[in-house]
Amino acid sequence: MARARVRKAPTNVVERNIALTGELMRYLLEHPQVFNALPDNFELVILPDDDPQMRLYNLELLDTYGSQSKPIVFVRLKSAREGILSEASPSLYVPVAA
């Protein structure tokens, strides 16, 4: 299967994804029971609700590089803007094979 190249990375893509991952980690540390619902050795795809550019880019990365046969966990959350941490809880989705 031919794979399309991922479009040009958004500005500060690494920093923005690190900030989103930090938000998720903070939430998971405050709610460790969530780990019980997650599969072992999964691929994480963060989909920020308020940043469509990053959401599309992260989905394109998944489409281009795949999950290497690992289960995928999608996380929807609001991104931290201007250093202010989001108070909203992220939503975690683990697709089930049909």
pLDDT at res. 47: 94
Inside any domain, residue 6: no
Q: DSSP character for 81?
A: B
Angle between helix axes 13-30 and 52-65 (nearest 10 degrees) is 90
Inside any domain, residue 23: yes
Inside any domain, residue 86: yes
Cα 79 to Cα 86: distance, rounded to the nearest angstrom: 7
Q: Using an 8 Å Cβ cutoff, are 75 and 91 in contact? A: yes
* CATH number for position 30: 3.40.1350
- 84 — pLDDT class (breaks 50, 70, 90): very low
Whether 18 has a pLDDT exceeding 50, the answer reads: yes
pLDDT at res. 92: 82
How many independent structural domains does the chain possess?
1
- First and final CA of the chain: distance in angstroms? 22
Full domain range(s) for residue 49: 13-93
- 88 — pLDDT class (breaks 50, 70, 90): low
- 10 — pLDDT class (breaks 50, 70, 90): confident
Q: Indicate the pTM of the whole model.
A: 0.76
